[in-house]
Structure 1
Amino acid sequence: MSKPSPEVQASLTRRNFIARAASGTVITAMGGGLLYTLSDRLTREAKAMTTIDGRPRLPPGQRALEALRPMGGTPGSPSISDFRLKIHGEVDKPIELDWAGLLAQPQAELELDVHCVTGWSLLGASWKGVRLADLARAAGVKPSARHVIFEAAAGYTANVRLAEALAPDVLIAHRHDGKPLARPHGAPVRAVVPSLYFWKSPKYLSGIKFVARDEPGYWETRGYHNHADPWLEERYG
């Protein structure tokens, strides 16, 4: 779980992080030479920080951006009236939530770092939604479960080890930076798993399946790493 060390924690809200970096940003120099962009400054700031477990806050090979980048994917219906989230598989009490049912669950708003396999990271962004651990508790996950399979529009799936999926910073998110999740970013709902590369956080989420045996998903069966730890650069299998 990516959290700041205590000595820098107070300065790591997204607003303060960007403001501090932007205050020293120079976009162009006389004569046309490019010195620093805001992304350069954010990257330099992030490289000076560590997570609570001592790792660099910015994983190797990553560059910090100031805004979430849309990364494609086949969208599902944008209508919240069509939304259904099915929690099933190795559970005692399968659940299907509509939009009102999702909002009736305990809500959490967290500042999280996310890291895309293409090399960009978004640090300290605000995400609001339901902790996956709370949904798992409500459904009664069986001891036989070992993995979570996120199911999304157009048959997209991504597999995550159970212990990582149930971490307290894993959200089923419907708001980003204080606003409803935008269509290009997975509206109405997406997963956010900050400890793994961002393809493990599917957009247009429709189901959460708990399974006893691993089921590699869309990108995992196309050559991407089955685990996807950004600090180990587990990009490809």
Structure 2
Amino acid sequence: MGKAERLKKARPPVQKNSYGGRLPPGQTLTEKFPILHEGEVPEYDLATWNFKLFGEGVQNREFTYDELMQLPQTTIVKDIHCVTRWSKFDNAFTGVTIRDLLKDFEVPEGTKHVMIYGDHDYETNLPLEDLLKEDILLAHSYEGKPLTAKHGYPFRLIVPHLYFWKSVKWIRGIEFLKEDRPGFWERNGFHNYGEVHNEERFSGEDLEIPEDEWHKKEFD
């Protein structure tokens, strides 16, 4: 049974407080930072680690870890929301905004979508216009400290307005696309877009997700 199917087996939590609409429907607020991912946590030698921009019609660009750290650094404070029904308010992430990353990069005309790649063999799709929002970040630090390995060290994407499976851990590259195509979870029962306030959790019919799934995971 796939993850999407497992998450459809129980009723969503009854919200006692939506915090003025700040807490999206079907979510539970936590002070902890649950750890969820598929597969093993990768290990890196930063001397050889790289990050790539590529795609059809693209002048490919590759960055080292040091080159990314030399770009303008920005801290954003955002709420984050997981499809497994936890939300965490006021999270401070520091890194390079995608706008700064692409400042001197020519995105080919006709590009409408991107595929985000992370280790090991993970991918998720986004509309280009979402990637270019001002608060989308290639983050290396959380609450003033480097990301832990289990939270995506050395870099992860932060896409606050979408469910957190779109915020790719261990990010290694962005592919620019003229046509959309689904990523890993999108091919396995999750919504193609994943907007949190519209509860875009699954593809197909509106199905339920267990209230307590994330309680079974590790926390920071």
- Class of the TM-score when normalised by the shorter of the 2 chains: 0.7 to 0.9
* 2:35 maps to 1:64: no
- Mapping of residues 1-237 of structure 1, within 5 Å: 44=17, 47-49=18-20, 56-74=21-39, 75-90=41-56, 92-237=58-203
- Structure 1 counterpart of 2:55, one-letter code: G
Shift of 1:184: 0.8
Shift of 1:127: 0.2
Shift of 1:64: 1.3
User: In structure 1, how many angstroms separate the alpha carbons of the residues matched to 2:174 and 2:58?
Assistant: 14
User: In structure 2, how many angstroms separate the alpha carbons of the residues matched to 1:99 and 1:192?
Assistant: 17
- Structure 1 counterpart of 2:89, one-letter code: L
Residue number in structure 1 paired with 2:8: none
Shift of 1:91: 6.0
Unaligned runs of 5+ in 1: 1-42, 50-55
Query: Contact conserved, 1:92 with 1:139, CA < 8 A, in 2?
Result: no
> Secondary structure of the equivalent of 1:140?
coil
Shift of 1:94: 2.1
After TM superposition, the score normalised by the length of structure 2 is 0.81
Shift of 1:165: 1.0
- Structure 2 counterpart of 1:131, one-letter code: T
After TM superposition, the score normalised by the length of structure 1 is 0.75
RMSD: 1.5
Shift of 1:193: 0.3
- Structure 1 counterpart of 2:153, one-letter code: A
> Which has the higher relative contact order, 1 or 2, with Cα contacts under 8 A spaced 6 or more apart?
2
> Secondary structure of the equivalent of 2:104?
helix
Shift of 1:116: 0.2
Higher percent of residues as helix: 1
Unaligned runs of 5+ in 2: 1-15, 204-220
Deviations 1:168-197 (A, max 9, x none): 110010001110000110111100000100
Deviations 1:113-134 (A, max 9, x none): 1110000011111000111122
> Secondary structure of the equivalent of 2:183?
coil
User: In structure 2, how many angstroms separate the alpha carbons of the residues matched to 1:204 and 1:73?
Assistant: 12
Q: What is the count of residue pairs matched by the alignment?
A: 187
